[in-house]
Chain A
Amino acid sequence: MKSVGSNVRSLTIAIAIAFLMTSVGVGYWTMVASADLGSDPFNPRLVSAIRDRPRGKIIEADGTVLAESVKTADGYTRRYTDRSLAQIVGYASFKYGASGIEAAYADSLVGQDPADPLSTWRARYLNEREEPGSVVLTIVSKVQKAALDALAATGKKGAIIALDPRTGAILASVSLPNYDATLVSDPATEDVAWQQVNGDQGKPLIDRARSGLYPPGSTFKTITGAAALESGVNPDTKVRVDDPWQADKSWGTYFVRSSSQAHGDYTMADAYRLSENIYFAKIGLQIGGPKIAEYASRFGIGAAPKCDIPAARGQLSNTGTLDRPTLVADTSYGQGELLVSPLQMALAVAAIGRGGIMPTPHYAQEVRDSAGNIIRTIAPGASGQVVNPATAAKIRDYLVGAVEGPGAFAFGAKIAGVHVAGKTGTAENPAGPPHGWFVGFAPAESPTVAVAVIIENAGQGGVDAAPLGGKVMQAALAR
C-alpha cells in the first residue's frame, strides 16, 4: 500500500496542474478575448461615462445635435433629438449596453479616441479624463427629412438609404418603425422601454436599411446585366420571350413568369425598361451559375460591407452556390434564395454610377475634441473596382432608360432637369404582398447621390417605391 505521504504528493501535483489550467483560462479572458469583450455592444464599460460625467455629443455636419448628455438628479443620462435616426445613432444604456454610433464610437465619446493615445493612457492609468469631444455624422438633415416624410407617407414598414457615391458618406437613413432611444437609455424608463421594443412585432431596434434582408427582386438585374456584358453577351442580340417559360421538360411544373405576360423579342435595353424576367433568366442560364455567383460576390453580396457600424452580409443562396438550373434562372432576376440589404443595393448602383468603383460606406465623418478641433477624419475611400468602366456606362444607360424610356416601370423617380438612372423591383416573399424596391442614382452622368428604397408588402411593388427614391434624390441634389 502506498504511504499517505506519497498520495499527498500526487494530489498536490494534480492540484498544481489544475491551478495552471485555471490561470491559462483567466489569461484567455483578460488578455486574448479582452478586445472582443471590450467592444461587445452590451458591455456597460462602453457607456461608462454616462452616469458620472457627460458623454460626447453626436452631431450632424451642420451642428444639429442628435445625442447629448443631460444632468439629472442621479447622474447624466442621454437625450436623443431625432427619432428617425434611432437605429443609426443608437442608444447608450447603462444596463443594456450601446448600439449604433454610440457603440461604434464609444471610445471617442468618452474622450479616448484611438487616434488620441495620450488621452486614453491618461484616462486609464492616471484617471485624468478629457472633456469628451463629439462625433460628426455624414447625415444631411434635409435629405433625412425628405426620406422620413416620403416613407412615413406610405404608412408601411420599410427603409430608405441615400449615400454619396463619390465618398460612401451616408446622407440619409430611415427605417420604420423606429423607437425612442431616450427611453431605452434613461434609467428611469429603460426596463419598460427595453421590454417594449424587444417585444414589438415590428422589430423597431433593427435598422432595416443596414440589417434588414430582403429578396432584391428586379433590382438585382443590375448585377446580372453587368455579369452578362463582361461574359461576352451582346446586349443588342434579341432574345425571344414567351410567357410562361421553362428551359426544358425537366423543370416539370416550374415556369419563369413575365410580369407583363410578354411575347416578343427583347434587347437588353428593352429588358431593363420593361423589367423582363424571362430575358434575364435566359441570359443567366447562358453565362451560368458560377458567373452570377462571381458578380454577386464582386458587388458585395454575401459579405458584410466594411462599414463603421455593423451591417448585414446578405446571401446568394442558402448554400452559397447556385447548384441547379432553376436556382440560376430565379437568381438572375433577383428571386431564388437571394437576400440583400438596402445598403448593399445602394452600394451596387453607386458602383454603376461611378464607373464601376464601389465606395466604402460610413456614417460618421470626423471625431472632434471638446474644443472643436478635428482629431480624426473618417474617409475610408473606395472598396474596389467591381466592374470595368465600359460595363458600368452601358448598365447606366439602361438604367436611365428604365426611368425615362417609354413605358418604363420606374418613371416615378423622374426629376425635372436631371437624368436619373434607376431600377424598380418587386420582391416576392412568403410574408404577404410583394415588397417594393427602387434603387437609383442622379445625375446619371456623374452621380452625387445613390438611393435604395424598400417598402415592405407594398401594394403594387416597385412602382410604389420609385417616387420615394425620386423625392430623396431631389432633396440630395439640392443639398
Chain B
Amino acid sequence: MTVLLRRGDELRLLVWVTLIAITGSVAVAATEAAGFAYSQLAIPVAFICVAVLLHVFLATRGIRGDQLLLPMAAVLTAIGLVLVQRLASSLLLQQLTWTLIAAGAFVGTILIPKDLTTLARFKWTWALLGVALLISPLLPVIGKTVNGARIWVGVGPANFEPWEAVKIMMVIFFAAYLEEYREVIARPRRIGPIPIPPAPYLLPIIVMWAIAMVVVIFERDLGASLLFLGIFLALLYLATGEAFYTLIGAVLVVVGGFVLYHTFGHVQVRVDTWLRPFAEDLRFDAGYQIVQGLFALGNGGLFGAGLGNGMPDRIPVVWSDFVFNAFAEETGFAGAIALLALYLLFVYRGMLIAVRAPTPFLQLLAGGLSFIVAFQTLVIVGGNARLIPLTGVTLPFVAYGGSSLVTNWMLVALLIRVSDITARTRGTP
C-alpha cells in the first residue's frame, strides 16, 4: 500500500481529470438532439480507468520523480476526447482505441530501455531509422496521400504519420550527438563578434536536418519542416548557448520561406490566406477555413457559448486542424487561456526536469522533448489565431489523430524516465 501512496499527488490530480472528462462529456451530450444517455459515460469512464491504471503502473514499478506530467497529459487527452465527441462523434471510438494504444506505448517506453543513456549509444541507428521512416510515405503500396500531403503510411486499416515518431528520434539523435561534440561547437573561432562554426562537426546534424527538410518538402508538409528546423535550432542553442546560431536560424526561416513562397504554389497560398483571408477571392476558397476559424474565435467572448452551443462545425476539418478554435468558441477566452496555461505548465515541468537532469544528454533530451510540445502548441495556435501562417502541426494530445497521440504519450514517458533517474541520482522522492 505504501508503494501506491508514493505517487499520491498524481492520484489526487487524477480526480480533477475525472471531473473534467465526465462533465465535459455530459455537457456535450446534453446539447445534442438525442440528449444525454448513461451509456455515453462509457467512453470517459474507460479513459479514466486507463489513466488510473497508468498511475498504478508507475507506482508499482517504483517510478519516482514528476507527478504532474501524467495528470496534465491525461487532462489534455480527456479534453481531446470531449472535443472529438463534440465535433466528430463518429471518430470517437477510433480515438479511444488510439488512446489505448498510446497508453500501451507509454508503458512500453517506461519498461523497455533499461538504461536511458543507452539510447545515446545508438544515435546513428536513430538517425538512419528516422530518415527511413520519413521516406516511407514516398514508397509505393504503403504510402498514402491525404489532403495533398503525402505523409501517411497505411498498413491495413491503420494509418500512421511517420514524422510524428521521427521528431522524437531526431531529439534523441541531436541530444546524443551534441553531448559529444558540444564543447567544440560551442567554442567557435570568431572573426570579430561573428562566430565561425566548426563545419566538420556540425556537418552530420546539418545533413540529417537537410535530409529531413528535403523529404518533407517533397511530401508537402510545412508543419513538419518547421518543427524539424525548430528542434534543430533549439537543441543547438541548448547545447551551446550560442544565440548567434539562433539568429542564423531565424535568417534561414526568412530566406527559406521566401524561396519556398516563390517556388511552391501551396506555400504561396498559405501566406496569402494568412495576410488577407477575408479578401473576396479567398474567403470562400483557400481562406475559407481560417475565416471560419476566426468567426469561431469571435463567437467565444469571455466565457464562450458553452460546450455544444457554438458552431465550430462550420470549420472544415475542425477536429484536427482547428480544434483550438472550437474549444475557444465554446469555453471562451477564459477556457483558451486555461488551455494555454496548461500547456505552459507542462512545458515548464518538462524544462524543470531538463535543468535538474544529471547528464548533458538527459538534459538535452528532456529540454528537446519539452520544446516539441511548446513549439507545436505555439505554431498551431498561432496559425489558428492568424498570428502566423497556418501550418499543419497538431495541437498536442487534444487534436484528433492517432500518430500524434501515441508519440506524445511516449514523449511523456521519456520525460518521466528522465525525472526518475534524477530522483534516484539525487536521492529525492
17 new A-B contacts at CB < 8 Å, known A1-B240, A16-B344: A4-B239, A4-B354, A7-B237, A7-B241, A8-B238, A11-B367, A12-B348, A15-B351, A15-B371, A22-B378, A26-B333, A26-B385, A29-B297, A30-B302, A31-B302, A44-B295, A45-B295
Q: Could you tell me if B344 and A30 are in contact, using CB atoms closer than 8 angstroms?
A: no
Tell whether, in the assembled complex, residue A30 and residue B298 are in contact, meaning their CB atoms are under 8 Å apart.
Answer: yes
A-B contact pairs, 5 of them (CB 8 A): A9-B355, A23-B336, A26-B336, A44-B311, A45-B295
Proximity string of chain A (52-85) to chain B, C-beta cutoff 8 Å, 1 when within and 0 when not: 0000000000000000000000000000000000
| In-complex Cβ contact of A8 among B300, B343, B354 (8 A) | B354
Known A-B contacts A1-B183, A29-B298, A37-B297; A127 and B306 likewise in contact (beta carbons under 8 Å): yes
- Interface pair A22/B332, CB less than 8 Å apart: no
- A8 x B351 contact (CB < 8 A): yes
Find the residue from A1, A12, A34, A125 having the highest chain B CB count within 10 A.
A12
Min C-beta distance of A380 to chain B, whole Å:
27
Contact assessment for B295 and A11 in the assembled complex, using a CB-CB cutoff below 8 Å: no
Shortest CB distance B395–A (Å): 12
B358 to chain A, nearest CB (A): 11
Complex contact A34–B298 (CB within 8 A): yes
Chain A residues positioned under 8 Å from B364 (CB to CB): 4
Nearest CB in chain A to that of B303: its residue? A125
Taken together as a complex, chains A and B put the C-alpha atoms of A36 and B386 apart, in Å, by 16
Could you say which residues of chain A place their CB within 8 Å of the CB of B292?
44
A202 within 8 A of B: no
- Taking the nearest CB of chain B, how far is it from the CB of A199, in angstroms? 13
Note all chain A residues with C-beta closer than 8 A to B301. 30-31, 34
- Total count of chain A residues near the partner, CB < 8 A: 41
Q: How far is the CA of A29 from the CA of B297 in the complex (A)?
A: 6
A29 to B238 alpha-carbon distance, docked (Å): 34
Q: Which residues of A contact B284 (CB under 8 A)?
A: 96
Give B356's nearest chain A residue, CB to CB.
A5
Cβ contacts under 8 Å, B295 to chain A: 37, 40, 43-45
Residues of B within 8 A of A237 (CB): none
Pair B297/A30 contact, Cβ less than 8 Å = yes
Residue of B nearest to A38 (CB): B298
Residues of A within 8 A of B183 (CB): 1
B351 adjacent to A23 (CB under 8 Å): no
A417-444 interface mask toward B, CB cutoff 8 Å, 1 = contact, 0 = none? 0000000000000000000000000000
Is B347 in contact with chain A by the CB < 8 A criterion? yes
In angstroms, Cα B225 to Cα A74, docked, is: 43
Answer yes or no: B299 CB below 8 A from chain A CBs.
Answer: yes
Contact of A19 among B297, B351, B378 (CB under 8 A): B378
Q: Does B223 contact A (CB under 8 A)?
A: no
Whether B239 and A30, one on each chain, are in contact in the complex, defined by CB atoms closer than 8 angstroms, is: no
B186 at the interface (CB under 8 A from A): yes
Q: Tell me which residues across on chain A come within 8 A of B241, comparing CB atoms.
A: 1-2, 6-7, 10
B6 interface residue (CB < 8 Å to A)? no
A391 at the interface (CB under 8 A from B): no
* Contact A19 to B302, CB < 8 A, known contacts A1-B187, A26-B333, A43-B295: no
Residue A383, interface by CB 8 Å: no
Task: Assess the A19–B343 pair: CB atoms within 8 A.
Answer: yes
Is B5 an interface residue when CB atoms closer than 8 A count as contact?
no
Tell yes or no: A18 within 8 A of B by CB: yes
- Distance between Cα atoms of A131 and B374 in the complex (Å): 47
Q: Is B387 an interface residue (CB 8 A)?
A: yes
Check B210 for interface membership: any CB of A closer than 8 A. Answer: no
Q: Which A residue sits closest to B315, measured CB to CB?
A: A44
The closest CB in chain B to the CB of A3 belongs to: B241
Q: Is A320 close to B, CB under 8 A?
A: no
Q: Is the CB of A42 within 8 A of B283?
A: yes
| B104 at interface, CB cutoff 8 A | no
Chain A residue at minimal CB-CB distance from B332: A30
Q: Which residues of B contact A35 (CB under 8 A)?
A: 298
Closest chain A residue to B324, Cβ basis: A26
Give A84 to B281 CA distance when docked, in angstroms. 28
> What A residues does B336 contact at CB under 8 A?
23, 26, 30
A97: min CB distance to chain B, Å: 9
- Counting chain B CB atoms within 10 Å of each CB, the highest count among A28, A29, A35, A38 belongs to A29
Q: Which of A4, A22, A40 contacts B238 (CB 8 A)?
A: A4
Known contacts: A4-B363, A29-B385, A30-B333. The answer to whether A15 contacts B347 by CB under 8 A is yes
B26 at the interface (CB under 8 A from A): no
In the bound complex, do residue A22 and residue B385 qualify as a contact, i.e. CB atoms below 8 Å apart?
yes
The 8 lowest CB-CB distance pairs between A and B, nearest first, are A37-B298, A2-B241, A29-B297, A30-B300, A30-B333, A4-B363, A12-B351, A25-B387
